[in-house]
Structure 1
Amino acid sequence: MEETIAGPEAAHIPKQRGDSLLEAAVRYIEERHWDVFPGTWLEAAGGEHHCSCGRSECPVPGAHPVADDWVTQATGSATVARGLWSKQPTASILLPTGRTFDAIEVRETAGFLALARMERMELTPGPVTLTPDRRMQFFVLPGASAKVPDLVRKLGWSLSTLDLAAFGEGAYIAAPPTRYGSRGAVQWVCRPTAANRWLPDAEELISPLAYACGRDR
Structure 2
Amino acid sequence: MGDMQWLSSQLDRLRDGARDYGERGWRIAPAHYVCAPGRHRRAGRHRPPGEVCSCRDTRCTRPGAHPLSPTWAADATYDPSLIAHLWYGPQPWNVLLPTGDLFDVWQAPLDVASRALDELRAARRAIGPVAYTPLGEWMLFTRARLGAPPLRLPDGLPLTYHGPGSYVLAPPSQLAGASIRWWRPPSPIAPRLPRWEPIVEALQRAARSRHVPEAHDIVPVPRAG
- TM-score, normalization: structure 1? 0.79
Question: Residue 135 of structure 2 contacts residue 176 of structure 2 at CA under 8 Å; is this kept in 1?
Answer: no
Alignment CA distance shift 1:105-1:49 (3 Å): closer
1:68 paired with 2:70, answer yes
Given that 2:134 and 2:176 are in contact with CA atoms closer than 8 Å, whether structure 1 keeps it comes out as no
Number of residue pairs aligned between Structure 1 and Structure 2: 192
Aligned to 1:214: 208
**Alignment partner of 1:41 out of 22, 28, 33:** 33
Provide the identity percentage: 29
Counterpart of 1:201, as a letter, is R
The answer as to whether partners of 2:128 and 2:141 remain within 8 angstroms in 1 is yes
Higher CA-based Rg = 2
Indicate the residue corresponding to 2:171 in structure 1.
Answer: 176
Alignment gaps of 5+ in structure 2: 1-8, 40-49, 212-225
Match in the other structure for 2:92: 90
Write the distance in 2 (CA, Å) between the matches of 1:197 and 1:45: 39
Task: Tell me the CA shift for residue 197 of structure 1.
Answer: 1.3
Distance (Å, rounded) in 2 between the aligned partners of 1:92 and 1:135: 17
| Moved >6 Å (runs of 4+) | none
Q: Deviations over 1:128-183 (max 9, x none)?
A: 11112211111111117965847x6xxxxxx103211211111110011111143x
Task: Determine whether 1:29 maps to 2:29.
Answer: no
Gaps of 5+ in 1: 1-16, 153-158
User: Structure 1 residues 189 and 148 mapped into 2: Cα distance closer, same or farther (>3 Å)?
Assistant: farther
For 2:200 and 2:146, the matched residues in 1 are separated by 10
SS at match of 2:57: coil
User: 2: CA distance between counterparts of 1:144 and 1:131?
Assistant: 26
Relative to structure 1, the CA distance from residue 57 to residue 181 in structure 2 (aligned partners, 3 Å threshold; closer, same or farther) is: farther
